Amino acid sequence: MADKIKMTTPLVEMDGDEMTRVIWKMIKDILILPYVDLKTEYYDLGLEHRNETNDKVTVDSAEATKKYGVAVKCATITPNAARMTEYNLKEMWKSPNGTIRAILDGTVFRKPIIVKGITPFIPTWTKPITIARHAYGDIYKNTEMAVSQGSKAELVVTDKDGNETRKLIHDFKNSDGIVQGVHNLDSSIASFARACFNYALDAKEDLWFASKDTISKTYDHRFKDIFAEIFENEYKAKFEAAGIEYFYTLIDDAVARVIRSNGGYIWACKNYDGDVMSDMVATAFGSLGMMSSVLVSPDGVYEYEAAHGTVQRHYYKHLKGEKTSTNSVATIFAWSGALRKRGELDQNSALSEFADKLEKATIQTIEDGVMTGDLFAMSTLENKQSVDTETFLYEINKRLRNM
């Protein structure tokens, strides 16, 4: 056998929970370690270890990602009341993804993995649609109140010298009602814009952005203006050189164009639009197990993961010794994405080529009719067969070995 591929810089490896933790080890053992002399800086983000370290391990892993530039993350449990008892937790630790995103100031890009035999509900979507969601502010950091009839609601801003500016929101003369205050930050919108422009250059795909600037002439319009200004000053020439476009339109028009499109672009969304549209796009493309995700910081740090969770139901089956058929594709693509990026940054073409082959072998396996249960239920291939979690990985390796 040929020598293993060497790495110069480590990947930051963030291990996780439940079924995805089981799959994590299998992917490394079956598909990566036989080919790559893998160098990682390992952080165990499994819930037990987060609890032992008072969640310091999550912060450390994010700091390491800043230092090295590329991380690969396994799905992790976000604790709720049930997990408090199940894991005997000291505290209801925050979502690791939220903590990491806050430290890296990143934007999440979700992209479906497309294979023959799994037809999107919108059959004209032959290329992936990547959704970028601005994950700061708007209604997710709102203040809201119920208002009784006879009240008057005003917007009051006090500047640093104590001067007040007031605007009437509504005079509730005739009815009870509701009122809501939201905000965003120029700095956050600018980070979001840069992350989107960088990702588009990286992916060599057009970037679309949309908001409701015709109605919201100050708030949404600010998003439009910041994107336009950063594009003009920092990215226009690079986009021209890459042969890609930045395109702004009204959100209504964007929705109509997306449905009529063939895919193959990045759709940047405000927080609420991204929340809703990412669910719509993911559902239309088929399976959660086929959705990859990458967090990109404005200064070009990348963290790759699967979009799905820890697949808890399958894990409990696994613990009882039963066979599972859990889809590992999105987690494999998290590894391949991180290895390819590491290869690019280190000018290690052997590593990037290995990542390409790993993805090709994975897609080939499914297109040959060998797949996990979730895809089996949807595939239109005639000679399809459903295999268990481990067999699927061995089947990929059969094809990878011959590349």
What does the binding site for Mg ion look like in residue numbers (CB under 5 A)?
A: 275, 279
Closest CA to 257 of 267, 245, 244: 267
Q: Is 44 in the site for ligand NAP (CB under 6 A)?
A: no
Length of the chain: 403
* Total site size for ligand NAP, rule CB under 6 A: 17
Residues 351-380 touching ligand NAP, rule: CB under 6 A, are: 374
Q: Is 61 in the site for ligand NAP (CB under 6 A)?
A: no
> Could you tell which of ligand NAP, Mg ion, none binds residue 117, using a CB distance below 5 to 8 A set by kind?
none
Residues 84-123 touching ligand NAP, rule: CB under 6 A, are: 97
Nearer to Mg ion, 235 or 285 (CB): 285
> Could you tell which of Mg ion, ligand NAP, none binds residue 279, using a CB distance below 5 to 8 A set by kind?
Mg ion
Q: Which residues of 149-167 are buried (b: 16+ CB within 10 A; e: fewer)?
A: eeeebeeeeeeeeeeeeee
**DSSP for 350-382?**
HHHHHHHHHHHHHHHHHHTTEE-HHHHTT---T
Backbone angles phi, psi at 112, to 5 degrees: -75, 145
Nearer to ligand NAP, 184 or 326 (CB): 326
Report the C-alpha gap between 73 and 97 in whole angstroms: 9
Closest CA to 280 of 247, 258, 308: 258
Given candidates 84, 280, 288, 378, which one binds ligand NAP under the rule CB under 6 A? Answer: 288
Which residues contact residue 58 at a Cβ distance below 8 angstroms, ignoring those fewer than 6 apart? 43, 45, 50, 93, 96, 99, 100
Least Cβ distance, residue 27 to ligand NAP (angstroms)? 12
Q: Is 326 in the site for ligand NAP (CB under 6 A)?
A: yes
Report the C-alpha gap between 302 and 106 in whole angstroms: 9
Decide if 246 contacts 231 (C-beta within 8 A): yes
Q: Could you give the dihedral angle defined by the CA atoms of residues 370, 334, 210 and 153, in that order, rounded to the nearest 10 degrees?
A: 120
Nearer to ligand NAP, 294 or 358 (CB): 294
Least Cβ distance, residue 101 to Mg ion (angstroms)? 15
> Could you tell which of ligand NAP, Mg ion, none binds residue 275, using a CB distance below 5 to 8 A set by kind?
Mg ion
> Could you tell which of Mg ion, ligand NAP, none binds residue 113, using a CB distance below 5 to 8 A set by kind?
none
Nearer to ligand NAP, 182 or 288 (CB): 288
Given candidates 133, 224, 308, 340, which one binds ligand NAP under the rule CB under 6 A? Answer: 308
> Could you tell which of ligand NAP, Mg ion, none binds residue 327, using a CB distance below 5 to 8 A set by kind?
ligand NAP
Q: Which residues bind ligand NAP (CB under 6 A)?
A: 75-78, 97, 288-289, 305, 308-313, 326-327, 374
